[in-house]
Amino acid sequence: GHGSNVQGLETTATFIPETDEFEIHSPSMTASKWWAGGLGRTANHAIVVARLILKGEDFGTHNFIVQIRSMEDHKPLKGITIGDIGPKYGYETIDNGFMLFDHVRIPRSALLARFSQVSRDGTYTRPPSSKLSYSTMVFVRARIVADAGRSLARGVTITTRYSAVRRQFRDPVASASDPFFAEGQPKKGIETAVLDYPIQWRRIALQLSTAYALHFASVVVTEMYSDLVARLKKGDLSTLPEVHAATSGLKSLSTDMAAAGLEDLRRACGGHGYSEVSGFPQFIANFLPNVTYEGDNYLLTQQTTRYLLKTFRALKKTPSTKLASLSTSYLAAAAARTPDSPAPRWAVRLSTDLLNSSLVRAAFAHRAGRLVSELATDLDSGSQTWTDSLPDAHRVSRAHCQLLLVDAFAHALESPAAKKLDAGSRAVLARLGDLFALSTLEAEMGEFVADGFVSYQQAKMVRGAVRDALKELRPNAVALVDAWGFSDYLLDSALGRADGKVYETIFEWVSREPLNNGENYPVVKGYETLYKPLFNAKPALSKL
């Protein structure tokens, strides 16, 4: 029954001093654990999370390693009920299962005891910090951010390539630089490549820039994690809260973005995006659990915002508070503002100012700071409870993480790898970074103008700048997806083939379908018995 609220688990592990064992027991049907991958029909051992009970006292959830099936005949051991949970959106090949325990005994050594221990006489040793187990969550969430970026990149590759091949309508304006449209006149039978329609390219390019941003963010969180592990080894927990906050919020934001992006990219393939030949349907369905598991995306953002509020309040009280890293330094500026401070305004004057990435960053920093500050005021004045403010907390986390993404892009452009690129490629990447930041600003404009920081005039300039960046980037569309180097095998898409042979491949794949072959061809199996009789059927008349 408990996915989100792990602390609320019903299953207990009671220490039995007489036999030096724990007894695992699930008191009710709702205590059954659902969804564990590989449990349904495969696993012989499981890590079970249960509430540790010592001498009648509840010490909260702990992890135990439990043999659940016989190594001889694979039957579930006595007292253990296991089932497969049945069909799902995707994940077809994974046997997610459920499990219930009826007074199952395991040895005391089955407690995973790196941090907390139970001695022979049932005495408990606490972990040095209750937050140590967070580092595993940090690791998993950092991996998910990387997966979100990679998945989106895979989708963009498919849709970009297909859009360069797919032609629909003749539009000499859109096809201005298409060699098949010499002097504005299409060659016979030639139509406009849909990639040349600015509205199609806009949809694709926003996902393209997002995929790069997520990839760069995954580099940053991976570095954060390595640094964290090195510190933890030395007993230094100082960066744990910030890293936990950043990875929680980024896991939520990145998987929301990738899931929405993949679906939009699928739709941008028109009807064929709905076919499995596109490579999208199963792929999207398999990606979707990322928004739910390892922390539901709405719940996770509470972690991020709690941390930001705590830091903000500390800075408000003691402006000299040392921050764990740069990514929250904007909170100091927000905390330093008082009701009498002059209202800050965005320093952008000319549209060329929008090419200055630190000016653009300043808008993200200001907006995140304002949202944290407003929420703190609401909560501290008692005008909102924490429970009521969760929609705002979600917005705050989102704003913070969008800033992290903008920073990650900038960080990547300054990286040794980027410096090794030729000037032309670096310029294209920088322009893609502009597009990411400016189009995010455009999409969230309501929050940037809400306190007058960004003016109407500036908002209009941002829209124009997005349009300019899109135009400039168009010639590099295919190169920017080729750069990821996905193989045709991995893409598994007739639409996304590197050689552009879309239609030949569709025909080939489809011709292998069982409905188009053998006993089903040219007439489907079952025609004689099920379908043909309908032709000769007499209308059913009543006997009246």
Ligand X SMILES: Cc1cc2nc3c(=O)[nH]c(=O)nc-3n(C[C@H](O)[C@H](O)[C@H](O)COP(=O)(O)OP(=O)(O)OC[C@H]3O[C@@H](n4cnc5c(N)ncnc54)[C@H](O)[C@@H]3O)c2cc1C
Contact positions with ligand X (CB under 6 A) in 33-62: 35-37
At position 85, the amino acid (one-letter code) is I
- 365, two tokens: 């920093």
Whether omega before 522 lies within 30 degrees of 0, making that bond cis, reads yes
From the list ligand X, a copy of itself, none, which binds 339 (C-beta under 5 to 8 Å, kind-based)? none
The yes or no reply on residue 191 touching a copy of itself (CB under 8 A) is yes
Which is catalytic among the residues 10, 294, 442, 472? 294
Tell me whether residue 414 is one of the annotated catalytic residues: no
Interface stretch with ligand X, choices 29-37, 175-183, 306-314, 446-454 (CB under 6 A): 29-37
Candidates 261, 279, 289, 433; binder of ligand X (CB under 6 A) is: 289
Q: Say if strands 12-16 and 45-54 run parallel, antiparallel, or are unpaired.
A: parallel
Q: Which of 294, 291, 288 is nearest to 90 (CA)?
A: 288
| DSSP calls for 474-485 | GGGHHHHHHTT-
Tell the smallest beta-carbon distance from residue 337 to a copy of itself (Å): 16
For residues 146 and 135, give the distance between their C-alpha atoms in angstroms, rounded to a whole number. 17
Across-strand partners of 49? 63
Tell the smallest beta-carbon distance from residue 313 to a copy of itself (Å): 20
Candidates 95, 147, 434, 492; binder of a copy of itself (CB under 8 A) is: 95
The yes or no reply on residue 85 touching a copy of itself (CB under 8 A) is yes
Tell the smallest beta-carbon distance from residue 521 to a copy of itself (Å): 8
The yes or no reply on residue 180 touching a copy of itself (CB under 8 A) is no
The yes or no reply on residue 487 touching a copy of itself (CB under 8 A) is no
Whole-angstrom Cα Rg for the chain: 29
Burial class of residue 266 in the structure, from the number of CB atoms within 10 Å of its CB (0-12 exposed, 13-18 middle, 19+ buried) = buried
The yes or no reply on residue 274 touching ligand X (CB under 6 A) is yes
The yes or no reply on residue 271 touching ligand X (CB under 6 A) is yes
Coil, helix or strand at residue 294: coil
Spell out a b/e string for 453-463, using b for 16 or more CB atoms within 10 Å of the CB, else e. Answer: bbeeebbebbe
The yes or no reply on residue 185 touching a copy of itself (CB under 8 A) is no
Q: Say if strands 33-36 and 97-101 run parallel, antiparallel, or are unpaired.
A: antiparallel
For residues 152 and 210, give the distance between their C-alpha atoms in angstroms, rounded to a whole number. 8
Contact positions with ligand X (CB under 6 A) in 364-403: 390
Interface stretch with ligand X, choices 20-28, 233-241, 295-303, 322-330 (CB under 6 A): 295-303
The yes or no reply on residue 504 touching ligand X (CB under 6 A) is no
Catalytic residue ranges: 294
Q: Which residues here bind ligand X, judged by CB under 6 A?
A: 3-4, 35-37, 91, 96, 166, 168-169, 194, 197, 199-200, 268-272, 274, 289, 292-293, 296, 298-299, 390
